[in-house]
Amino acid sequence: MVILFDLDGTLIDSTEAIVESFYYAYEKMNNKNPPKKEMIKSLIGYPLDVMFEKNGISKEQKFEYVDRYKENYKKISTQKTVLLPHAKEAVLMAKEIATLAIVTTKTGKYSKVLMQHFDLMKYFDVLIGYEDVKNPKPSSEPILKALDELNKNIKDDVWMIGDTILDIQAANKAKINSIGVLSGYDSKELLLKFTKNIEQNVEDAIKYLKFK
């Protein structure tokens, strides 16, 4: 069995670090019209350049904003990120029954730093970040790359656990199972809209993870 975890909204809450770094980027770029916090939060899970572009930054400038964002994020990420409640317990339980990997649209370098900071990286055999693929989620490429590096395939009882429709869409395209969690940024209604066979998925997840 293989369990693939998303990061933001699934295992960690880095909202404060993300929002602060967004505002830092706007300040450094002398942009006096930063988006509201709720707008930034609604896009967490997408690649940074997509987030900036969806907030009105031009294609020509968006990577400059990303660079400014990263200047701040790398300084504050560990101090302003927390594990979500029961995230560590979930990882430890999952490790007892499955091979684990992380599949995220965060930069892999910063993701590894965070997981090492929380002493969780040792439980994951592979971490696929934004820079590791040409097409991030909702493409199936990050999932398939993780399975390739694990020397697994979609027949090996694979599950993607995430908090946004990007995770669910990527799982659907990769033809693997998915579980949408409500600890993050997308609503139950939206996750249900994109999740296939959710009742069976939940039943199987309860059985596998031994929840009561």
Q: Which of the following is catalytic: 6, 8, 163, 186?
A: 6
Tell me whether residue 6 is one of the annotated catalytic residues: yes
Residue-wise pLDDT for 43-68, tens only, equals: 998 999 999 999 999 999 999 999 99
Could you tell me which of 90, 88, 43, 94 has the C-alpha nearest to residue 69? 43
pTM, rounded to two decimals: 0.86
Query: Do 63 and 111 share a domain, yes or no?
Result: no
Query: Do 112 and 147 share a domain, yes or no?
Result: yes
Note down the domain range covering 205: 2-13+82-209
pLDDT of residue 194: 76
Q: Is the pLDDT of residue 94 over 80?
A: yes
Residues 177-205: what's their mean pLDDT? 70
Q: Is the pLDDT of residue 206 over 70?
A: no
Number of neighbouring beta carbons within 10 Å of residue 47: 18
Residues 137-159: what's their mean pLDDT? 93
- The CATH number assigned to the domain holding 133 equals 3.40.50.1000
Contacts of 152 (CB under 8 A, 6+ apart): 2, 99, 158
103 Cα distance to chain centroid: 6
